[in-house]
Amino acid sequence: MTKTSSNTRGLSVQGKTRKAVTEFIDNLLDRKFTDAERSLEGVKGCSFGDEEYKAGYVNALEGLLFTVRSGDERDFLNRNKFTPEKLKDYRAEFKDFASSPIRTSWDSGYFDAWSDLMQYKYNTEK
C-alpha cells in the first residue's frame, strides 16, 4: 500500500507516475523550467497502462510548460486568479470532460492532466 501525501491526494495517477507528475508540477509552478523539462522526461518514461491515454496526458503537460513559460496573459492558466473555490470547480469540470463516454482515451488523459494540476494547486495552495 502506497502512502499518499496530502499534496498528492486526489490525483488520477499512482505510484512512480504520481511522483514524477508532482515533481513536474512543482517545478512548473516554481518556474524552474529546466527542471520541469527534466521532470517531464521522467513522466514520459512512466507507465500509464494505456499509450493513447499517456499521449494525451503528456501532451497536456507539454502545453502547460509552454504556456507557463510564455507568460502570455491571454492563456487560461496565466490569466486566472485561482481561488480554492475556482480550483475545485475547474477540477470538477475537467474530470467531467475526462469521464465523458464520447471522449477518446487520449482526451481522457489530456483532461486528467489538467484536473491533476487543479487538484495539486488546490492541495498545495500554489
Q: What percent of the chain has pLDDT over 70?
A: 94
Q: Which residues, other chains included, contact 69 with Cβ-Cβ below 8 Å and sequence gap of 6+?
A: 33
pLDDT of residue 120: 93
21-25, 85-89, 98-102: least confidently modelled range: 98-102
Nearest to 21 by CA among 61, 53, 50: 61
Q: What share of the chain is helix, strand, coil (3-state, %, to 5)?
A: 70, 0, 30
Place of cell 510548460: 65
Averaged pLDDT for residues 46-50: 91
Averaged pLDDT for residues 18-46: 95
Query: With 90 as the cut, is the pLDDT of residue 44 above it?
Result: yes
Angstrom distance (rounded) from CA 55 to CA 81: 29
CB neighbourhood size of 49 (10 A): 8
Grid cell in block for residue 91: 477540477
Torsion of CA 98, 80, 123, 23, to 10 degrees: 80
Question: Which pTM value belongs to this model?
Answer: 0.86
Averaged pLDDT for residues 24-51: 95
Average pLDDT, rounded, for the chain = 89
43-47, 104-108, 122-126: least confidently modelled range: 122-126
Query: With 70 as the cut, is the pLDDT of residue 3 above it?
Result: no
